[in-house]
Structure 1
């Protein structure tokens, strides 16, 4: 495959789907600036490792895997807990009326181990099929199914207790 064509293919694909990648990264890092950094770093990694893309048909799962791994790498580097995001701080500072979200679900999801949280995010927030999740995470399909079942079980237990 001609390298400039592959560069264009990756660039066009990322531009068309940038919102999806930002949302995915944000689900992991919980911070606007970090999510943007993850997307930018993922683009750099994709362009520098384009030779590892086996075929253009795998571009979607290949790039999602890069975003997930880059998000997890950033979290490992930071080893920090984001308690509130900018929107919450802004709404408190501006004196806006309280807007309640499902904090219990968010907190329970955030408390899941990364291997379970990744599957929940990809399945229910990014709407991937289990086969696609297995490719993105480079895991066996049965492992993904087992982890999804376990994650849902943990969420169900935690949500009933709280």
Structure 2
């Protein structure tokens, strides 16, 4: 994480803030898409997250926790979107989304995690795709570190079982 960019952004340097957000865009997309499951809602969550981070950056006490702080805000934005959608009744079907090769790896990862129980999915994503350790994940998700560790272990077991089944069925 670039401490200098964070310090400059906190002092009101808009270019530094934009560069900081650009560095985090891929991480934000992976997390948002795994939560909300479609590009439009992921884009909305990311946009809301960037605005919220910009407005509240001065409240960040320790610069080294910037990414943890930002991801926690993003997860809350995703939850807000899901709650709003649960209150809405959709009458039209969504048009099919075009395929973008640049997003293939993220989509493939999201597809692999899709069958996982929700309580394991985000922990596995944050640990393996974003490189957070169990202590950081416990802070982001506001749960005990021991809970994160046990859910990570159970998530790994679920993935292994799913993979073994696909190998036995000849689907891999």
Matched, 1:149 2:160: no
1:42-96 residue CA offsets vs partner (Å, 9 max, x unmatched): 112223333542221211110011112212222232239x9996146x9xxxxxx
- TM-score, normalised to structure 2, is 0.66
Deviation for aligned residue 1:5: 0.9
Match of 1:62 in 2: 69
Deviation for aligned residue 1:161: 5.1
Q: Post-superposition, which runs of at least 4 consecutive aligned residues in structure 1 deviate over 4 A?
A: 1-4, 6-11, 82-85, 158-162
Preserved contact between residue 9 and residue 17 of structure 2 (Cα < 8 Å): no
What is the RMSD computed on CA atoms of the aligned residues?
3.6
Match of 1:123 in 2: 127
Q: How does 1:41-120 map to 2 (within 5 A)?
A: 41-79=48-86, 86-87=97-98, 106=111, 109-120=113-124
Q: 1:20 aligns with which of 10, 27, 34?
A: 27
Q: Structure 1 121/2 Cα, relative in aligned 2: closer, same or farther at 3 Å?
A: closer
| Equivalent pairs, count | 148
List runs of 5+ in structure 2 lacking aligned partners.
Answer: 1-6, 101-106, 167-172
Distance 1:148 1:36 in 2: 27
- TM-score, normalised to structure 1, is 0.70
Distance 2:153 2:163 in 1: 15
Match of 2:103 in 1: none
The higher relative CO (CA closer than 8 Å, separation ≥ 6) is in 1
- 1:139 is paired with a residue whose SS is coil
Preserved contact between residue 126 and residue 137 of structure 2 (Cα < 8 Å): yes
1:94-120 residue CA offsets vs partner (Å, 9 max, x unmatched): xxxxxxx979x837x324343321101
Distance 1:7 1:46 in 2: 14
Match of 2:104 in 1: none
List runs of 5+ in structure 1 lacking aligned partners.
Answer: 91-100
- 1:49 is paired with a residue whose SS is helix
